[in-house]
Amino acid sequence: MLEKLLTSKTRVKILELLILNADSEFYLRETAKRVGISPAYVRKELENLQELNLILQRKRGNMILFKINKNSPIFEELKSIFLKTESLGDFIRKNLRKLGEI
């Protein structure tokens, strides 16, 4: 599972987006724009993550929305890894900006 999970930079970027925004849903083009990768490649990686039961999808109208599967047995471990790495700085800055808006 780890080989399939971490062998793609795109997959890691998508996981980072979904894990650090675990209460949000994203549609394909939004995900592609945020991670800076083509929608076709993002779709492929989302399918890989879905095979691993790491993401959930639902349809709303013509759009398919994706979010992290918080019930995945490895969700908390992955979240911990992302929070402990370079993403921590971005996560803190983003949330501090939100606090400034309150």
* β partners of residue 97: none
Residue 87: pLDDT over 60 = no
Q: What is the pLDDT of residue 60?
A: 93
Q: Tell me the average pLDDT across 35-43.
A: 96
The C-alpha atoms of residue 21 and residue 67 are separated, in whole angstroms, by 8
Rounded CA Rg of the chain? 14
Residue 90: pLDDT over 60 = yes
Whether 63 and 29 have beta carbons less than 8 Å apart is answered as: no
Residue 6: pLDDT over 90 = no
Whether 91 and 80 have beta carbons less than 8 Å apart is answered as: no
Q: What is the pLDDT of residue 96?
A: 79
Domain 2-94 top-level CATH class: mainly alpha
Query: Of residues 25 and 80, which shows the higher confidence score?
Result: 25
Q: What is the pLDDT of residue 2?
A: 53
